[in-house]
Structure 1
Amino acid sequence: MRSARISATAILSMLGLLGSSALAADPLVYAPMDPVRMSEVIKTLASDPFEGRAPGTIGAIKTVNYLVAQFQAIGLQPAGENGGWTQEVPMVHTKIAPESVVQFRVGQSEPVIYRQLQEIYLTTNMPSSQIKITDAPLVFVGYGVDAPARDWDDFKGVDLKGKIAVILINDPDFRAKPDEAVFDRFGGRTMTYYGRWTYKFEEAARRGAIGALVVHDTEAASYPWSTVTAPGGENFALEKQGAPDSLLLQGWIEGKAAHELFARAGLDLDALSEAARRPDFRPVILPSASLTTSFDVATTHLQSRNVLAKLPGTTHPDETIMYGAHWDAFGKGKGPHGEAMIRRGAIDDASGVAAVFEIARAFKEGPAPERTIVFAAWTAEERGLLGSTYYVEHPLVSLEKTVANFTIDVLQMGGLSHNAFIVGAGQNSLQDDFSTIASSQGRVTQNEVLPERGAFYRADHLPFARAGVPVLPIMDLAGYPDLLKGGVPAGRKWLEGYMACYHQPCDAWNASWDLSGAAEDAAALYEVGRSLAFSRMWPSWKQGSEFKAIRDRTEAQRPAL
């Protein structure tokens, strides 16, 4: 089998005959990615001196300096602000004390106390020294979705001013049974953007709520309560988000605690959750229930940085192909028993950064591209895609002429595999091009196994998609690798082991890893991008994609083919 894989790789130069529109323009040259070099990058970024790479820390400064040095060593040019290597990203960092509590009162009964990091998880975006909320009513708003295009409105005109919105995670189709299509407006089990906690907080703020609590459910969220509480009560936001119309309080309520609270108010949360799956659902005010809390907030205004490098195009330098990964992780903190820990983010996402370096090196060592190639390392992805969002709001190249964005976020460390996964299948032509390349490598592409996790809406490609730029994310948590050594059982073991370490200290570099599969993913992304770098093709969104109309509006600003 291994010899067959080598043979498949050797015929990459024939890909122009395989029928993909974006791949037909120019013969491709296979560029090997070095797994050993990738492993060394991960080992360095996940080491003690980098302190888990949290924005605003000494570890972050070391990280940015390291990234710039690596891009310089490869021989790239700076692509940041004012001719430099970075783009400043102004942020507000807030931290709530771990001893903070929330007091829920129902009627005249004694209040129940929920404790930070245990039954409740609180954060705030407000740059204030103290947050105080007294007797705020609670309103259950189902999934908290307002989607006119899907003929769906969970709010039905309810007044949320001065109130706390209680919201279910995921979206209304999540609990759909296999044979149930009556209310199939959100893609069945496939999570849409409306299922993400970021959207729910944004919508609650738009509706005038002073706070929002998302009900945690491990299956619907795709991660356990320990992942929710991993940041320890700290939060980052773009500086502009600390505006008066932001939520005073945003956070989560643990599932069992939420059921108990609703029961105290005489309500059945399970029954209400089932009702929330219907388009005729109406918000429910929890009878005589209120929230009171007061906690101090440590607020810091800081400048973090995106790191940007480029290889200028020779004939169409104003047209850009972008590769990116995020450099941040969760940094230093304390465990559940007060022990010191570092959440190193080795796989998430030092692995992606390592792949970006390898792809950059391959482009630099090959013929000069006709279109400009930009390589990005984003800050604060783990805090809500902040670095990439800021870039899209303040782009350094034209988004209308950004041909494609390739984002790498979590690569598998189990070795070569027979398969590769498409995240958000059916979105655009880049996915078809990737399938063609993977086939040439001897691999079969599959749709993500657990689309209810909403992987397509959880990484730094999303702000670009929302701006209309065609995107292709590689996220190896999308399914079980069918490994050459051990098949699907071995792939399942790898993924389950990684997910147990997701955002935890054990996401650390390991000498026993086999990065050959990660290198093969990087090689495939290089080939897709290279085909675009030497062609006049523009990838397209497919009919039915929510991002197609945005790109269509900017098509007139692009040169004719």
Structure 2
Amino acid sequence: MRIVRSASALFAAALLMGAAPYPGHPATTPDINGADILARDKAISDDAFEGRGPGTAAGEASAQWIADELKRIGVKPANKGSYFQTVPTAVIALDGAKSSFSFATKQGAVTPAYADAVAYWTAHFASNTVDVKDAPLVFVGYGVVAPEYGWNDYAGVDVKGKTVVILINDPGNEDANPDPKFFKGKAMTYYGRWTYKFEEAARQGAAAAIIIHETGPAAYGWNVVKTSNTGNKSWLATKNKNADRAKIEGWMSLDTAKELFTRAGLDFAKLKEAANKKGFKAVPMEGETLSVHAVSNISLLKTRNVVGVIPGGKAAKDVVMFSAHWDHLGIKPNLPGPDKIYNGAIDNGMGVSMVLELAEKFVHDPKPQRSIGFAFWTLEEQGLLGSAYFAEHPVWPLNHIVGVINQDAGSPQGRTRDMDVSGGGQSELEDELAKVMKAENRYILPDPEPEKGHAYRSDHFPLAKAGVPAITPGTGSDLVVGGKEASKKLRDDYVAHRYHQPSDEFNPNWDMTGLVEDTEVLHALGTDLANSAAWPNWHADSEFRAPRDKVMAGKK
């Protein structure tokens, strides 16, 4: 096992070696304005930070830059006198050439091509070799255990030591007229996310868990599965070295799945239809097993969340939080073309800059009753790991966090009549945001694609999962000049030509008027919450209501 030096050691080494100087801190004013946001974004997306890769010298220097900026504007350290929360991380890279993955069937072996027909990995890091041998296949439908819907795909079946084969999304997700009371109808619930599928499989004791990919229900093509799951994968470095997860997790193509079902004498289409109906029972795929020999290169590193606080008055123990992830994709030396740096000026230099702008404004406001906290997450691009670590090791007790308002990739497209909230309509925190928007003659845009599960793809989610009301308000889609059509054109252009590409670079000519108005809305929301005695909760039909009620029951 190769051990990577800690972030602080890397940062110090870079300084001793005379690395390129990092950007200074711009002169800013207490008032929210576009020039300040631009100046911070220019600094945080500078080439010197080399794409803000977590655990790299330049990446951790960007975290230090944020901490120094918090100190400069008057925000206090929030973690026992420190601006940092260390996040121990395991980076696991499967060696495809040395690994093997094969299904045994009555008609012979099925060995899907790595990356093209199967993408698999292990989260275990006690050893660089993990083996699963002859683990029988069991089709468990959607792999869901949801008591509130009277649903249990694992009822009556023992999958310990076996391979579970799972459908993506929720039961009923492809119905022409879905029942809104049945797994929220068209909207994806957390039960539909691939992360949940693997978590539940592990709870059931499965040795391996393989999801069947279908583009519609997954909301993305196989190309996304391939690029996201065939390189390095980062995990929180838990004490048990992830021994509580299934040994092997992965996806297989629909064609591969259909071949396996056919060889087992099963009709995939009919079983999928049955899996969408209450009372479905898991089906053993007779005569079929999975064997995997996974060889991985393992690195351990330490990266950091950045945390700060503006102490409140009479209710200082209670905290209103703002957050944004600081990390991006770093440098890719083998990338074609001269530019190898993923600067991430919009994703998420803009979110960082907006939250810093809010922090400076709050510092100069009258002292709030509640404290106002700030968190800048690491490892968002690797699976929301920084915010997940915080949710498990909170700087403030979860039952003292009023709510979390996260920012991710604000779009400098000009003024909009709206803001969107991915997976919206679930919490009273969003209701409070809607009131502020209404006072400004603006509105909240309902999630136009609820079936894609956007609510589970940003850093508010790990806090929401822990029960804390949390939202990621985003740039609207209804431009004051040009309307929805013009906004869609700008968004599509960004996704096609800059999103997760080296071309996501700072532009001094961006129209910041809309982001300034959005930042002012968030400031008004934060001010209201920080001077209120109210405790926003999740709506009664939200899957996050129960954990919030449980956490708040122990509040003192």
Q: Contact 2:424 / 2:455 at 8 angstroms: preserved in 1?
A: no
| 1:494 is aligned to 2:493 | no
Kindly provide the CA deviation profile for residues 57-106 of structure 1, in whole angstroms up to 9, marking residues without a partner as x. Answer: 234312211211221222211112x3111111222211112445522332
Which of the residues 525, 531, 535 maps onto 1:534?
A: 531
Q: Secondary structure at the match of 2:539?
A: coil
Kindly provide the CA deviation profile for residues 465-493 of structure 1, in whole angstroms up to 9, marking residues without a partner as x. Answer: 233322232144xxx70112321112222
Q: Contact 2:122 / 2:294 at 8 angstroms: preserved in 1?
A: no
Kindly provide the CA deviation profile for residues 91-145 of structure 1, in whole angstroms up to 9, marking residues without a partner as x. Answer: 2211112445522332243x33323322221222111211223333222211110
Aligned to 2:10: none
CA distance in structure 2 between the partners assigned to 1:139 and 1:332 by the alignment? 41
Aligned to 1:213: 210
Which of the residues 197, 219, 237 maps onto 1:200?
A: 197
Q: Contact 2:131 / 2:294 at 8 angstroms: preserved in 1?
A: yes
Query: Alpha carbons of 1:37 and 1:301: their partners in 2 closer, same or farther (altered >3 Å)?
Result: same
Aligned partner letter, 1:490:
A
Aligned-residue CA RMSD (Å): 2.7
Query: Alpha carbons of 1:34 and 1:254: their partners in 2 closer, same or farther (altered >3 Å)?
Result: farther
Aligned partner letter, 2:205:
G
Specify every segment of 5 or more residues in structure 1 that has no aligned partner in the other structure, as ranges: 1-30
Aligned to 1:132: 131
Q: How big is the shift at 1:293?
A: 2.8
CA distance in structure 2 between the partners assigned to 1:93 and 1:341 by the alignment? 21
Q: How big is the shift at 1:301?
A: 2.1
Aligned partner letter, 1:380:
L
Which of the residues 117, 120, 123 maps onto 1:122?
A: 120
Aligned partner letter, 1:436:
K
Query: Alpha carbons of 1:486 and 1:46: their partners in 2 closer, same or farther (altered >3 Å)?
Result: same
Percent of aligned positions with the same letter in both sequences? 37
Query: Alpha carbons of 1:158 and 1:243: their partners in 2 closer, same or farther (altered >3 Å)?
Result: same
Aligned to 2:65: 66
Q: Contact 2:264 / 2:286 at 8 angstroms: preserved in 1?
A: yes
Q: Secondary structure at the match of 1:230?
A: helix
Aligned partner letter, 1:66:
W
Aligned to 2:11: none
Q: Contact 1:334 / 1:340 at 8 angstroms: preserved in 2?
A: no
Aligned partner letter, 1:472:
I
Correspondences of 1:515-530 after superposition (within 5 Å): 515-530=512-527
Which of the residues 218, 222, 226 maps onto 1:229?
A: 226
Aligned partner letter, 2:211:
V
Aligned partner letter, 1:451:
P
CA distance in structure 2 between the partners assigned to 1:539 and 1:171 by the alignment? 28
Q: Contact 1:347 / 1:507 at 8 angstroms: preserved in 2?
A: no
CA distance in structure 1 between the partners assigned to 2:377 and 2:519 by the alignment? 18
CA distance in structure 1 between the partners assigned to 2:267 and 2:370 by the alignment? 58
CA distance in structure 2 between the partners assigned to 1:335 and 1:171 by the alignment? 39
| 1:238 is aligned to 2:236 | yes
Correspondences of 1:479-490 after superposition (within 5 Å): 481-490=477-486
Aligned to 2:358: 359
Q: How big is the shift at 1:530?
A: 0.6
Aligned partner letter, 2:322:
Y
Q: Secondary structure at the match of 2:184?
A: coil
Q: How big is the shift at 1:35?
A: 2.9
Aligned to 1:23: none
Aligned partner letter, 1:199:
Y
Q: How many residues align?
A: 522
CA distance in structure 1 between the partners assigned to 2:158 and 2:340 by the alignment? 43
Kindly provide the CA deviation profile for residues 279-299 of structure 1, in whole angstroms up to 9, marking residues without a partner as x. Answer: 222222223223233232111
Query: Alpha carbons of 1:244 and 1:551: their partners in 2 closer, same or farther (altered >3 Å)?
Result: closer
CA distance in structure 2 between the partners assigned to 1:535 and 1:263 by the alignment? 61
Q: How big is the shift at 1:146?
A: 0.5
| 1:275 is aligned to 2:271 | no
CA distance in structure 2 between the partners assigned to 1:254 and 1:59 by the alignment? 38
| 1:306 is aligned to 2:305 | yes
CA distance in structure 1 between the partners assigned to 2:273 and 2:343 by the alignment? 39
Q: How big is the shift at 1:367?
A: 1.8
Q: How big is the shift at 1:344?
A: 4.3
Q: Contact 2:324 / 2:408 at 8 angstroms: preserved in 1?
A: yes
Kindly provide the CA deviation profile for residues 347-380 of structure 1, in whole angstroms up to 9, marking residues without a partner as x. Answer: 3333221221111111012222221111001122
Aligned to 2:22: none
Query: Alpha carbons of 1:397 and 1:38: their partners in 2 closer, same or farther (altered >3 Å)?
Result: same
| 1:546 is aligned to 2:527 | no
Aligned partner letter, 2:306:
V
CA distance in structure 2 between the partners assigned to 1:257 and 1:194 by the alignment? 24
Judge which range, 69-78 or 133-142, deviates more. 133-142
Q: How big is the shift at 1:391?
A: 1.6
Q: How big is the shift at 1:235?
A: 1.6
Q: Contact 1:211 / 1:250 at 8 angstroms: preserved in 2?
A: yes
Aligned to 1:514: 511
Kindly provide the CA deviation profile for residues 436-455 of structure 1, in whole angstroms up to 9, marking residues without a partner as x. Answer: 22223332222111111222
Q: Secondary structure at the match of 2:491?
A: helix
Q: How big is the shift at 1:495?
A: 2.9
Aligned partner letter, 2:459:
D
Q: TM-score, normalised by structure 2?
A: 0.86
CA distance in structure 2 between the partners assigned to 1:546 and 1:143 by the alignment? 17
CA distance in structure 1 between the partners assigned to 2:334 and 2:274 by the alignment? 38
Correspondences of 1:346-495 after superposition (within 5 Å): 346-476=345-475, 481-495=477-491
Aligned to 1:52: 51
Q: Secondary structure at the match of 2:398?
A: coil
Query: Alpha carbons of 1:115 and 1:340: their partners in 2 closer, same or farther (altered >3 Å)?
Result: farther
Q: Secondary structure at the match of 1:387?
A: helix
Which of the residues 59, 69, 83 maps onto 1:85?
A: 83
CA distance in structure 2 between the partners assigned to 1:287 and 1:162 by the alignment? 16
Q: Contact 2:156 / 2:281 at 8 angstroms: preserved in 1?
A: no
Q: How big is the shift at 1:507?
A: 6.4
Q: How big is the shift at 1:193?
A: 0.9
Aligned partner letter, 2:71:
Q
Specify every segment of 5 or more residues in structure 2 that has no aligned partner in the other structure, as ranges: 1-29
Q: Contact 1:346 / 1:507 at 8 angstroms: preserved in 2?
A: no
CA distance in structure 1 between the partners assigned to 2:233 and 2:60 by the alignment? 19
Query: Alpha carbons of 1:264 and 1:341: their partners in 2 closer, same or farther (altered >3 Å)?
Result: farther
Query: Alpha carbons of 1:556 and 1:116: their partners in 2 closer, same or farther (altered >3 Å)?
Result: closer
